[in-house]
């Protein structure tokens, strides 16, 4: 559809191996999609970072250029675009579940939705040590809380779960929270997740994580073709529709 004679392949690169892998690439390579922990390991190897990479502290997309490696973050775009598809373009209060790298992107996404206060619920505050810095760079007031012995309560209108798909919260979030807010669950396998099932059972709305993956991939293709995640692809609506069909969405 884009007329590109390209191949997109999976390569397994272990922690500490990224620099050596990059050194072995030839000029036929256009770019890379990275998962953790490589999203952070790549940072000192970049000659340029997008503003979102600076805010979030992670790059999931790398463009190989004559000047060197340029890093971008399309995870934030994936979150906000998936929410926009569900009719959510603004949120005054956001609750984020989990404190890892995806939570950092969720904080930046909350900023894009206009939120000025974000609560992050974690099991271990130590795993969320980088999030206050992310919130400060994004200009958001951050509150860290721990999962406790009581059902999770909040008046947030949007809940973003960055927990693994198989994670089970015990006790489960309150029925009032589930019914009164939209859950964006970044998990996609298994689906529905236990958390999504809880939300749906209480009559709440759920946005699935597979939609985030779709849109962050569109952002990556933008980078690989035009060097920027902000320049739409030719016939992008058709490209996105084809991607939706491919994943059954």
Q: Where are the domains of the chain?
A: 18-74+217-246, 77-210
Q: pLDDT, tens digit, for every residue of 197-248?
A: 999 999 999 999 999 999 999 999 999 999 999 999 999 999 999 999 988 8
Q: What is the dihedral of CA 19, 24, 26, 31, to 10 degrees?
A: -30
Q: How far apart are CA 119 and CA 122, in angstroms?
A: 10
**CATH match of 77-210 with 3.40.50.10420:** no
Domains 18-74+217-246 and 77-210 share a fold: yes
Residues serving a catalytic function are 39
- Tell me if 231 sits within 8 A of 242, measured CB to CB: no
CA dihedral 89, 106, 212, 69 (to 10 degrees): 120
The 10s digit of each residue's pLDDT in 96-126 is: 999 988 999 999 999 999 998 999 999 888 8
Residue with tokens 């058709």: 238
CATH architecture type of domain 18-74+217-246: 3-Layer(aba) Sandwich (3.40)
Q: How far apart are CA 7 and CA 56, in angstroms?
A: 29
* pTM given for the model: 0.93
**Average model confidence (pLDDT) across the chain:** 93
What pLDDT shows up at residue 193?
Answer: 92
């Amino acid at each position: 559809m884009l007329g590109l004679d390209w191949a997109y392949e999976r390569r397994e690169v272990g922690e500490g191996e990224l620099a050596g892998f990059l050194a072995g690439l030839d000029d036929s390579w256009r770019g890379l999609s990275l998962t953790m922990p490589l999203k952070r390991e790549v940072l000192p190897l970049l000659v340029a970072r997008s503003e979102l990479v600076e805010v979030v502290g992670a790059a999931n997309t790398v463009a190989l250029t004559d000047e060197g490696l340029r890093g971008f973050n399309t995870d934030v775009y994936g979150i906000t675009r998936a929410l926009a598809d569900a009719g959510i373009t603004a949120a005054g209060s956001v609750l984020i579940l989990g404190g890892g790298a995806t939570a950092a992107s969720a904080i930046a996404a909350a900023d894009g939705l206009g939120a000025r206060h974000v609560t992050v619920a974690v099991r271990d505050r130590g795993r969320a040590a980088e999030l206050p810095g992310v919130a400060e760079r994004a200009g958001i007031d951050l509150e860290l809380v721990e999962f406790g012995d009581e059902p999770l309560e909040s008046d947030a209108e949007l809940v973003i779960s960055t927990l693994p798909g198989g994670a089970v919260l015990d006790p489960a979030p309150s029925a009032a929270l589930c019914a009164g807010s939209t859950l964006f669950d970044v998990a996609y396998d298994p689906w529905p997740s236990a958390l999504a099932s809880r939300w749906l059972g209480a009559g709440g709305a759920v946005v699935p994580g597979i939609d985030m993956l779709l849109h962050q991939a569109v952002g990556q293709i933008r980078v690989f073709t035009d060097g920027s995640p902000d320049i739409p692809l030719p016939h992008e609506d058709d490209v996105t529709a084809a991607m939706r069909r491919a994943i059954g969405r």
